[in-house]
Copies of this chain bind each other. A is one copy, B any other.
Amino acid sequence: MTHVHNDPAAFKDQILRGFAAAYPAHVERVEGASGFVRAGGPGEGKVSLLIGGGSGHYPSYNGVVGTGFADAAVLGDLFASPSAEQVYRIGRAADGGAGVVLSFGNYAGDRLNFAVAADRLRADGIDTRIVFVTDDIASGPAEEPEKRRGIAGTFTVYKIGGAAAEAGLDLDGVERVMRAANAATFSFGVAFDGCTMPGADAPLFHVEPGQMDFGLGIHGEPGISSAPWMPASELAAQLVERVLAERPEGVSGRAAVLLNGLGATKYEELFVLFGDVAALLADAGVELVAPEVGELVTSLDMAGCSLSVTWLDEELETFWTAPADTPAFKRGNAVATQRTRPVRREVPEDDAAAAEEASEASVAAAAVARRAVAALHATVEEHKEQLGQLDAVAGDGDHGIGMSRGATAATEAAEATQGGVQTVLSAAGAAFGDRAGGTSGILWGVLLDGVGQGLGNTEPVTTARAVEAVRSAVQKLQTFSKAEPGDKTMLDALFPFVDALEAEVRGGAALGPAWRAAAEVAVRAADETAALTPRIGRARPLAERSVGTPDPGAVSLGMIVSAVGVVLDDLRPAS
């Protein structure tokens, strides 16, 4: 139960405020952004490590900003990815001129938002690398590590990366070391009960009383097996056996070991378990190097724990045992790097497009675009409750709220922005992505911006170019998201939509009728996501998990393209 909060919608901002008040000697809030850099700003000529993800996992991520660890952290709403805009802003503030590594656990929303932010940072001339962590062996097969989620092993990978950057390695070096650390890190967890979001009166998910759910994710993603309660010694054997089964060939046997508590599983329980774990690891010839027992990656008040093992070579061991000084984790005698580069607070105005003289046709299209965004907004508001209820079946029930937040911001931005259709749609997309957050936010942000870029501010708006703009935006989305058909995301409605749109136009239909016909296809495709086995769900009895409901992202996409179709007859394409 989360008892302490004010307005649940302001929870994340109030976490940031309180954290900044507690640790001014360690961190500095980046003004107007959801995150922190080290107090004093980035080190000149030093690679910076920016870590982040949803909030609710303290001390991850802001708790480990400091000497020898992260240079900066960015936080999204509870369990939701930070927006690309926020990652970008903190990334700029964190850069010391030697480039930035963005690192995070492998979740769809984070992958998308950090990828978009990396593109923007690179466009600003900041060399940016991405290392996502895939330590959770329960979430994918060994042969497909990129399908594995990041859980408590993220802590070790970030620690090692932060120490490598502190030691003066260049960007290639830090990236290489972090990839090596990730490849050497294996975690396996168990859950006993779920956590409760602020303001909610029931947990986000449940584990059956008297049961343990192995491999259950830190946001309640489904586990791989359930078992009745067992004593700590048997639990230790289960965790150790699973993690050691993936011990790579040729490793030295020296390992960084974490026994992580998720929030309500307390230190005393962790030490009882660690006594058994340490004995089993010693029996298996593992030498523990500076192990940690405690709360490193939490999930509010979730009950459960995980074992992480990072197999160390000489280089990884040096960085794992190196000094660190952060609010929540300190080791040895850390000496702060000299800071000489001021924090870059301002985000440059992207006036290239705005400066262009928009053509009359593009300004006319921009007016239609504003009405399309307004139609999107009205539809989202109308179906907000329904989308929330759909999402509550398999998710955390905030899809309606997130879409509403994004659509409201997009409408305001579109109304406030003058110029051609690209300028207006890009502004709407940026606002949507930043305010909605999470996966839906970035998908809609990229989609709106992508369509705008496809249409441009000067060229004539033809039916063919409109279709091409949608297609290129969808391709951009696929590139960022790496989503495949059947992944049960909004793309499962979007791909059939754009195929149908192209086919209709190729068959001679005008844009409006073609769009409306394609929208019907999208709505049907959204319904069909109910028949798919969910790849990401929440902890429920295993038997219930494949009885799908439609994906709320796909459903809202169907609704929105249907609503937008109504205004497109006014576009009056040039040919």
> Can you name 12 extra interface pairs (CB under 8 A) apart from A19-B274, A59-B267, A266-B301?
A1-B193, A3-B265, A3-B303, A4-B269, A4-B273, A5-B272, A15-B268, A19-B293, A22-B274, A56-B268, A264-B301, A267-B298
In the complex, the answer to whether A18 meets B270 with C-beta atoms within 8 Å is yes
Q: Which residues from B are CB-within-8-Å of A332?
A: 325
Q: Which residues from B are CB-within-8-Å of A25?
A: 290
Chain A 271-311 near chain B by CB (<8 Å), digits 1 or 0: 11111101100000000101111110010110101000000
Whether A251 is near chain B, meaning CB under 8 Å from some CB there, is no
What are 5 pairs between A and B in contact, CB < 8 Å?
A4-B272, A5-B232, A17-B271, A19-B271, A25-B290
In the complex, the answer to whether A22 meets B266 with C-beta atoms within 8 Å is no
Whether A546 is near chain B, meaning CB under 8 Å from some CB there, is no
A271 CB, min distance to chain B CBs, angstroms: 3
Q: Which residues from B are CB-within-8-Å of A22?
A: 259, 271, 274, 278, 291-293
Count of chain A residues with Cβ under 8 Å from any Cβ of B?
69
A16 to B271 CA separation, bound complex (whole angstroms): 8
Q: Which 3 A-B pairs have the closest CB atoms?
A: A18-B275, A18-B271, A4-B269
In the complex, the answer to whether B233 meets A192 with C-beta atoms within 8 Å is no
Whether A88 is near chain B, meaning CB under 8 Å from some CB there, is no
Whether A263 is near chain B, meaning CB under 8 Å from some CB there, is yes
A328 to B270 CA separation, bound complex (whole angstroms): 14
In the complex, the answer to whether A14 meets B275 with C-beta atoms within 8 Å is yes
Whether A334 is near chain B, meaning CB under 8 Å from some CB there, is yes
A231-B5, A272-B18 known; A266-B192 Cβ under 8 A: no
Q: Which residues from B are CB-within-8-Å of A274?
A: 18-19, 21-22
A269 to B1 CA separation, bound complex (whole angstroms): 11
In the complex, the answer to whether A6 meets B231 with C-beta atoms within 8 Å is yes
A330 to B490 CA separation, bound complex (whole angstroms): 47
Q: Which residues from B are CB-within-8-Å of A233?
A: 6
A279 to B21 CA separation, bound complex (whole angstroms): 9
Whether A182 is near chain B, meaning CB under 8 Å from some CB there, is no
Q: Identify which of B2, B259, B272 contacts A266 (C-beta below 8 A).
A: B2
Q: Identify which of B18, B263, B264, B331 contacts A278 (C-beta below 8 A).
A: B18
